[in-house]
Chains A and B, each alone.
Chain A
Amino acid sequence: MQSFSFSKAQTVDEATGLGGRYIGGGTTLVDLMKLDVETPKTLVDVTGLPLAAVEKLPDGGLRIGALVRNSDLAFDPTVKAEYAVLSEALLSGASAQLRNMATTGGNLLQRTRCPYFRDTSYTNCNKRNPGSGCAAMDGHNRMMAILGTSEDCIATHPSDMAVAMTALEATVHVQGAKGKREIAIGEFYKLPGTTPNVENALEPGELITHVTLPTPRRGSKQVYLKLRDRASYEFALASAAVVAETSGGHVRYVRVALGGVGTRPWRAHEAEAALVGKPATAEHFRAAAEAALKGAKPQTENGFKVELAKRCMTRALTMATA
């Protein structure tokens, strides 16, 4: 760990004016600082900012402060009742201790668990050292991504929460030197392409202040299904967040996002397009899953994720339309 300065901000303006890395729960940042992967010179503690509330919005949506802890958000009565997919996703992530610390804003910025990213003895990591290469590609790649990868990076996006928020079409609200702006979650995460060091749409110094969720769709069912080797405390091998509405045995509305398989939380637009208006049957769910995984590019050890993601999505759609 490198030396750093530390200050605690009381207001959003003060925080954005201090010009440092923001620290909330610290579950990702401190972990990576101990590994020298993150080496911030200045830390700005934002946990004192008034951003810890979950509030119903006049339009029926929900506003989640960036400092709301994962466990508080998961057990929030409105979230449990109206955004069950988010509650389920949060509770499937990490451990109780980590969820008690991790914040909403911090979780959106959670970094990959790629072992080669986390170990600085590998100088070849395009995320850490742009242009240096990728040690994962030819390494132990069972947990790596199969969707959205590039020649430069195959690191999996680790979050469960962000997958659910992607299916819920959340909006990320940020504030920086140039003021406030809103970013649709579908635009928030960047594909690695040739710049895997750029992971999201935040400008330098911008702080996530809150996340808003649109009004829950009446009559829709929500499911988060996470598949992994063990029953707890493991990143997804494949997960699926589904929000679906059916009537007359047909799919009227559906949003699908996948986790554990993409370089970012993976919105399955092709699957949605293939499903809307179609009968809610296993055959159509499977066809949608095939469409979603059509562009999958497995590595030497993770070919099984292609089929696993399809099964995961098919089952989640079945549950959400039952």
Chain B
Amino acid sequence: MTVSTTGTAPETMTGATAEAAGAAASQHGIIGRPVARIDGPLKTTGTAEYAGDFHLPWMAFAVPVQATVGKGTIRSLDVTAAEAVPGVLAVLHRGNMERLYRAVPNDPNATVSETRPAFEDDRIYYWGQYVALVVAESLEQATAAAAVVKAEYAAETPEVSRELEPFAGKWNTVSTRGTVDAAFAAAAVKVDQTYGTPAETHNPIELHATVAVWDGDRVTFYESTQGVVNHRNAMAQILGVPRENVTVVTKFLGSGFGGKLFPWPHCALAAVASRKLQRPVKLVVTRTMMFSNVGHRPVTEQRFRIGASADGKLVALRQDALNHTSLVDSFDEGCGEATGYLYSVPNLTVASALVGRNVGSPMAMRGPGAVPGLFAMESAMDELAVALKMDPVELRLKNDATVDESNGRKFSSRHLRECLETGSAKFGWKQRTPQVGSMRRDGKVLGWGMAAASWGAYRFACATTVDLNADGKARVRCATQDVGTGLYTIFAQVLAEKTGLPFERIEVLLGDSSMPEGPLSGGSWSTATVLPAVAEAADGAIASLLSIAASTPGTPLAGADAKTLRMTEGRVHRATESAGLPSAGVPFEAVLQAARLNGVSADGRSGSVFEDPKARDLSMHSFGAQFAEVEWEPEIARLRVSRVVTVIDAGRIINPRAGANQIRGAVVMGVGMALLEETVYDRRNGQPINGNLADYLMATSADAPEIDVTFLDYPDFALNSYGARGIGEIGLAGVAPAIASAVYHATGVRVRKLPIRIEDLMQA
């Protein structure tokens, strides 16, 4: 699908966009320029089409029926009343639906979120599990019919406790070096504490949605997915059809935060209903279902033991991390993600284990592993600083690592020290007095806290195609998708840089699995992954164009050596002619027209960093520092986050405007993580009891602090030729522990179990 600024854009562009476009009379320097997202006008005018917006002729609507027990067996399912509701076309369930295949286990190109297909057996593994699907002429009819499906259960008491200890199962060693227990025992100063993070629900504003349309033996999904290619591959396996018969379209996403990386059971259900009825079927997951059926960040419980010498040098670091998982999948949160390399420490062990719960399968949520892991580790580091009577920034600086001690590799580009120092200076950290409750402003107690942050840097395989067309436009295609953060614009920037064309003459087509295969939108790797592929495709198309220009009789450049030709500002000219002059060369489309060509195309590819000999021996991560200020009014137990300074070392920033926007959003999410968010399961039936946006608290605009974002902007050329890493997740890492430390500084209450609630602080 296309996002083009042609047509609607000029009228609806923001001032800043217009300014950027104006400046782009030269597109030189477009990389790194804070341009407005090219899809912005489509979104602000409501014309961007999300999955649920696809309305097709003769479409039917599907509504799942959910189990109302958290554990047990379906004893009986009575659908007669539902079938009698006017407009009902089908009520599918285990007794009458065709069996779905499972996706191939551990196929990295066809991953599913919940491996158990809907209705596979009569067991209930979690509250809200789908037990039937009603399809009707209208959403209202389907909803009404779903409400009268009568299920009887042999109910058992589910296990949904947030407490994961005592745990008697097997631990898995994630990383180890030295002799951690002996070193800890001998350490001069120690911290030994357990930290907990709750189940958090992703809650993107756009609900999960599937529109499935069969045409003979081919099926098209209009889908809200963070991976059109993976989704296609998985659906082919589950539905038992050839991959080439499946097309997945995701033009826009109202974000996913990881919850939409891989298909959930409702996706196949919509397709099965559509195949059965031979009609388009739409299934939009409700907000309440978002809390039970489409993943969450799992509960974690992490014991940290940190030992240090009396002068603050780390000697031992041990993390034992539990996370809950469902009974149908083994989801490892990976809380040790950043533990092994963030600091220099000779003796270290990271171990993890899973604890089964009657909950839906967890799924990666923004910064999986690192975000809850760093909450625990950075909280423990703050406690260590208190125990050492040492400044917490100083403690981090003292233990900064120069190589990745978990594997001995060099860092491709690590500037944690500068993040800490820059953040400290911008925040005014030097004015901090360490005594609890010692700082005040306007009658309120101030608390200042900080934490370090990190997230991995990756690049995966990607293919793109760039066309230069006789209509004067450049077009790039890639089967990846923009989760809403600016990937369309990244593509446009590279193409603008290469061709010199303004955005108005650039079309970016993403979100269709039939295009050249691009990456999943996850792990903050999209930008780093697509950049080299787009650049290569653009270079190839330009080379083809220049060759044609040199060899096409009748053009001003005929007979020239193609090597002496260039494409600048959308024109083909001799290298000796000044670029950008109207007189230099000819418009590129004139070359194509003279050659009687519709256009030229070239493919570009980039490979996985894991297969790159220049990169695979390096440790590649982004780094950051978070500084937080809270205001505390003990008389009324009111705590608010008033200020956050965040400094991010994420390589070269391709679009600082969209980039800073992502970091600011992550900081606000971090405020919610620290103070508000928790999915609460009723212990009697396992229901997420606060499954709506009024009762599940996320930060509102009124909760957003003043946020100061700085990018260090050191290019990391080991990852790609542009030096860009990713920024989707790192902004959330470290925010919660910085706030928790600020809360301690203000109140003297150390909250080790998120979220930090009023009742915790009333102990102050």
Contact = CB atoms under 8 A, between A and B. Distances in A.
B384 to A, nearest CB: 29
**Residue of A140, A225, A312 contacting most chain B CB atoms (<10 Å):** A140
B168 interface: no
Contact of B684 (A119, A139, A304, A315): A139
Nearest to A237: B758
B636 A231 contact: no
Contact of B758 (A2, A139, A227, A231): A227
A225 B637 CA distance: 13
Interface stretch (B140-148, B446-454, B582-590): B140-148
Contact of A140 (B640, B689, B701, B703): B689
A229 B675 contact: yes
B271 interface: no
A2 B636 CA distance: 44
A306 to B, nearest CB: 10
Contacts of B700: 230-233
Interface string A103-121: 0000000000101000101
A229 B702 contact: no
Interface string B66-77: 001000000000
A88 to B, nearest CB: 15
Interface stretch (B346-354, B493-501, B690-698): B690-698
Q: Is the interface of A mostly helix, strand, loop or mixed?
A: loop
Contacts of A291: none
Contacts of A308: 637, 758, 762
Interface residues of B, number: 30
Interface string A1-24: 110000000000000000000000
B174 interface: no
Contacts of B701: 232
Contacts of A115: 689-690, 695
A287 to B, nearest CB: 16
Interface string A220-260: 00000101011111100100000000000000000000000
B148 to A, nearest CB: 10
A314 B694 CA distance: 28
B762 A1 contact: no
**Contact count band on A:** 20 to 34
Nearest to B633: A315
B666 to A, nearest CB: 18
Given A139-B682, A140-B682, A230-B700, A304 B694 contact: no
B682 A311 contact: no
Contact of A225 (B140, B636, B684, B695): B636
26 contacts: A1-B144, A113-B695, A115-B689, A119-B687, A139-B684, A140-B682, A140-B689, A229-B758, A230-B676, A230-B700, A230-B702, A230-B703, A231-B700, A232-B700, A232-B701, A232-B702, A232-B703, A233-B694, A233-B700, A233-B702, A237-B758, A304-B759, A304-B762, A307-B762, A308-B637, A311-B636
Interface of A: 1-2, 36, 113, 115, 119, 121, 138-140, 225, 227, 229-234, 237, 303-304, 307-308, 311-312, 314-315
Given A139-B684, A231-B700, 12 more contacts: A115-B695, A121-B687, A139-B682, A229-B675, A230-B697, A231-B640, A231-B703, A233-B700, A237-B758, A311-B635, A314-B635, A315-B635
Interface of B: 68, 140, 143-144, 147, 635-638, 640, 675-676, 680, 682, 684, 687, 689-690, 694-695, 697, 699-703, 757-759, 762
